[in-house]
Structure 1
Amino acid sequence: MRAPIGDFDDARPAPDCLDLLTEPVAAAVRAWTGAVPADQLLYVDTDPGIADTAVFVEHHGRELLDTSANCVIVAAKRGGEARLAACVVRSATRVDVNGVLRKHLGARRVSFASMDAATGESGMEYGGITPVGLPASWPVLVDAAVVDTPWVLIGSGRRRGKLIVPGKAFAQLRGAEVLEGLGVPVAG
């Protein structure tokens, strides 16, 4: 089937591609419930060498900047204790770490999680982390603009492959909270 966004000719329902997903993502797809049916989560095969957003959109079309999102893992620190959280923002924006995010998490300090922490605790590959299948203890903070996007391209848990998901599905993820202004325009 042709994907609803991008130039992908071979989009397949994610439940039919569980062997191509990391175990946490496959488990989340198998257990998927809610208003958006699991077969609307689509998998597209992509080249892992171009998984990073800037290179990916140069190859597959700059219009994907408006319909793709990044899942950024952060470490929020307060009182000597750190906890991880996921932030989902449109690719053309950045996470408002020192404003919306820090205030929402009630953290003294928020920084991007180390690659070892992000990959080790999520069970996903760096450059392919997705909010689908993250640990239950992590808040999943989703910018409202992502939820309002009809179809969103995001990582699949691996550098090879992407998921195309209805934006409203992000609001139904375990631990999801939708926040206005989490993603802010990139200064440039």
Structure 2
Amino acid sequence: MSLHWVPVAERTDLLAEPVARAVSGVEGVEVAGIDPDLADTAAFCERYGVTLDESANCVIVAARRGGETRYAACVVLATTRADVNGVVRRHLDARKASFAPMAEAVELTGMEYGGITPIGLPEEWPVLVDTRVAEHARVVIGSGVRHSKLALPGAALAGLKRAEVLPLAG
């Protein structure tokens, strides 16, 4: 099965509400509907012929220091893992950093688990984009829901408000 990419403005019905509100200011974004049972990266890539090195994952990190919890998004290629306990923790000046629990991430983002994307996150959250993602000509990432994916230049992710580009993979 192949993907039918269209400009995101033509199919905002394929996006989570916070993504639909925020995506208009992002250049070069396309969206394609997918089988929601195949939203997880490995299954998606295998079924739709997208390579892991052109797929990006967005994970929500909870950073804690002195009783305060702050959240951030980390965007890495599917072939790498974010160094949450090293690079990310230090960058966020946290004593402890971990992946946010699924229910918490879903509630705070207004997006579906397996579809969380950096576009449309709460405005105060930093978006940490791995240098390999930022340099990529085009990456495929979640759309806020499990039944579609977004494709866009890595530079568009790096250009998001609150985005910071750094080597995240450990």
Matches within 5 A, 1:7-156: 7-8=2-3, 10-30=4-24, 32=25, 37=27, 40-61=28-49, 64-156=51-143
Deviation at 1:7? 4.1
Percent sequence identity over aligned pairs: 55
Task: Give the TM-score, by structure 2 length.
Answer: 0.95
Residue 85 of structure 2 contacts residue 98 of structure 2 at CA under 8 Å; is this kept in 1?
no
Aligned mates of 2:51, 2:9 — CA distance in 1 = 24
User: Which ranges of 4 or more aligned residues in structure 1 deviate by more than 2 Å?
Assistant: none
Deviation at 1:172? 1.1
Matched AA of 1:43: V
Does residue 157 of structure 2 align to residue 163 of structure 1? no
Deviation at 1:89? 0.3
Task: Give the TM-score, by structure 1 length.
Answer: 0.87
Instruction: List runs of 5+ in structure 2 lacking aligned partners.
Output: none
Q: Secondary structure at the match of 2:106?
A: helix
Deviation at 1:183? 2.0
Deviation at 1:24? 0.5
Give the CA RMSD over aligned residues: 1.4
Does residue 166 of structure 2 align to residue 183 of structure 1? no
Q: Which residue of 2 aligns with 1:3?
A: none
Instruction: List runs of 5+ in structure 1 lacking aligned partners.
Output: 1-5
Deviation at 1:60? 2.1
Aligned mates of 1:119, 1:167 — CA distance in 2 = 24
Residue 89 of structure 2 contacts residue 95 of structure 2 at CA under 8 Å; is this kept in 1?
yes
Aligned mates of 1:163, 1:123 — CA distance in 2 = 17
Aligned mates of 1:48, 1:174 — CA distance in 2 = 29
Aligned mates of 2:121, 2:53 — CA distance in 1 = 24
